Amino acid sequence: MIYFKYNTNHISEPSFGYIFIYANRLLIHSLSLSERKLLVGLKRSKCLNMKVGAYFWYGFSKWDEMFTDRLLNVYSDRCPTWGWVSDTQENFEYQIDLAADNNISFFAIDWYNSPYMGEYNRAVDMFLKAKNADRMEFCLMVANHAGAEVRLNEWKPLCEKWLPYLSDPHALKVDGKPVIIFFLVHDLEEQLGGAESAKRCFDYLNELMVKNGFPGINIIGCVCPYGSPGFYEIDYHPEWFNEHKWQEDIARYKWEGYSALTGYNYRKFNTYDENGKLALSRPFSEMTMQHEDCWDVFCRYNECGIKYIPPILSGYDARPWDCVWKCNPTGKRQNYCVDRKPETLYNHAVNAGLWLEKNKKYTMDDIAIVYAWNEYGEGAYIAPTVGDPDAKYLRSIKDAVDLINRKRKK
């Protein structure tokens, strides 16, 4: 993995003299010939431009229990520059312009199969009504977690409900096929009654899209190679990795009908130091390296050849919600970063671009996806806030994508 050191005023193009490679968990101050060729060779590439999307969560559309006292009072710097509640069409169109101006090509909008959380689904409709919707694309990210499960007996009605979104001219497509993302791959398999039943369900959706004039559907699922039971899609624990099981799992997912895999975010829970003391605070750079490690696992252990969309971590600090309340009744402690910086995010996004270039066999249309546009409660956001009114995190993504694409075009 390659890391770039640069002036904190950023963002200028990195020179070879300031490049470091992370190898075997040690930083060395030189580049191999292959790594040099990789960066310089971008200008000779005939590939598509790097395309970056962002997960979009509409949980801050109304005042409810999401607004904990801790979020409002202790973490008030996370308040968006337009205010906590953003449920107007005008504001949504402003966010589209803001994203499009900064190289965000699509929103993966969280969608819930739940009457309780159905209010959050308004974001998709607001996108479609936007006067400037042609500036970017969108796809659904079906959040099939507890309380919003996707059951077998609901599958066909849900496909009909998703059809207008998947068929919309602004829907994200790869090879002409609309894209839909599912949050919990393991859980969805169980919710649909097992692998064979999941395959029949996916075949039905694919046939439905063909009947409506498309070549099929791209089904993408979130999963982590280091996941543990119950948190298979997000938990990061390399010590639990089982190569045989991993290869078996992803081959089954491909057989079921997944076109590609990705992640929402990868993180650890309840980390302890060498003295056995709970050590939840972790460097942001460590968390981004964990993500990049997961990217590489998808290449090293992928005999079935399923595609992968690397997730880019913009931060993680869910302490505003790390308390006993309705959406976190257990109060489970999670790792968080306290040194989140735009420069680190820039490094991470550039590395995603280099990874896409190096691993074309496993990439899907040169796409990467940022977690997240507006997960303020979880500390993952690139939209401008009171604490970041100049949108430095968003500009980090823009500048990284500009760098990668500029090198490819030369």
Q: What's the CATH number where 377 sits?
A: 3.20.20.80
Confidence of residue 24 (pLDDT cuts 50, 70, 90): very low
Confidence of residue 12 (pLDDT cuts 50, 70, 90): very low
> What is the rounded CA–CA span in Å between residue 223 and residue 144?
13
The string of pLDDT tens digits covering residues 202-222 is 999 999 999 999 999 999 999
The string of pLDDT tens digits covering residues 369-378 is 999 999 999 9
> What is the rounded CA–CA span in Å between residue 402 and residue 390?
18
The string of pLDDT tens digits covering residues 241-255 is 889 989 999 999 999
User: Does residue 41 belong to any structural domain of this protein?
Assistant: no
What percentage of the chain exceeds 90 in pLDDT? 68
* pLDDT for 5 beyond 80: no
User: Does residue 380 belong to any structural domain of this protein?
Assistant: yes
> What is the rounded CA–CA span in Å between residue 49 and residue 345?
19
Residues 15, 22 contacting (CB under 8 angstroms): no
Collapsed DSSP state (helix, strand, coil) of residue 304: coil
Residues 292, 355 contacting (CB under 8 angstroms): yes
pLDDT at 323 (0 to 100): 59
pTM of the shown model: 0.86
User: Does residue 381 belong to any structural domain of this protein?
Assistant: yes
Instruction: Return the minimum-mean-pLDDT range out of 25-34, 115-124, 297-306.
Output: 25-34
pLDDT at 165 (0 to 100): 98
pLDDT at 9 (0 to 100): 36
List all residues 6 or more positions away from 245 whose beta carbon is below 8 Å from its beta carbon. Answer: none
* pLDDT for 319 beyond 80: yes
The neighbour count for residue 24, using CB atoms within 10 Å, is 6
User: Does residue 28 belong to any structural domain of this protein?
Assistant: no
pLDDT at 328 (0 to 100): 53
User: Does residue 288 belong to any structural domain of this protein?
Assistant: yes
Listed in sequence order, the DSSP H helices in 194-283 are 195-211, 243-256
pLDDT at 115 (0 to 100): 84
User: Does residue 12 belong to any structural domain of this protein?
Assistant: no
> What is the rounded CA–CA span in Å between residue 351 and residue 47?
17
Confidence of residue 182 (pLDDT cuts 50, 70, 90): very high
pLDDT at 327 (0 to 100): 52
pLDDT at 270 (0 to 100): 64
Domain that holds residue 315: 48-409
The string of pLDDT tens digits covering residues 134-150 is 999 999 999 999 899 99
Rounded to 5 degrees, what are φ and ψ at 261? -120, 160
User: Does residue 327 belong to any structural domain of this protein?
Assistant: yes
Residues 201, 240 contacting (CB under 8 angstroms): no
Confidence of residue 330 (pLDDT cuts 50, 70, 90): low
What tokens were used for 182?
């599912």
* pLDDT for 312 beyond 70: yes
> What is the rounded CA–CA span in Å between residue 404 and residue 50?
7
The more confidently predicted of residues 94 and 25 is 94
What tokens were used for 50?
């790097």
The maximal CA–CA distance of the chain, rounded, in angstroms, is 61
Confidence of residue 117 (pLDDT cuts 50, 70, 90): confident
Task: Tell me which amino acid residue 374 is.
Answer: N
Highest-scoring range by mean pLDDT, 36-40, 289-293, 368-372: 368-372
The arithmetic mean of pLDDT across residues 372-385, rounded, is: 96
H helix or E strand, kind and range, residue 404: helix 392-409
The arithmetic mean of pLDDT across residues 54-79, rounded, is: 89
The more confidently predicted of residues 245 and 13 is 245
Identify the CA nearest to 70 among candidates 316, 320, 318: 320
Count of domains observed in the chain:
1
User: Does residue 395 belong to any structural domain of this protein?
Assistant: yes
pLDDT at 50 (0 to 100): 97
**Average pLDDT value for the chain:** 85
pLDDT at 62 (0 to 100): 73
* pLDDT for 159 beyond 50: yes
The arithmetic mean of pLDDT across residues 335-347, rounded, is: 94
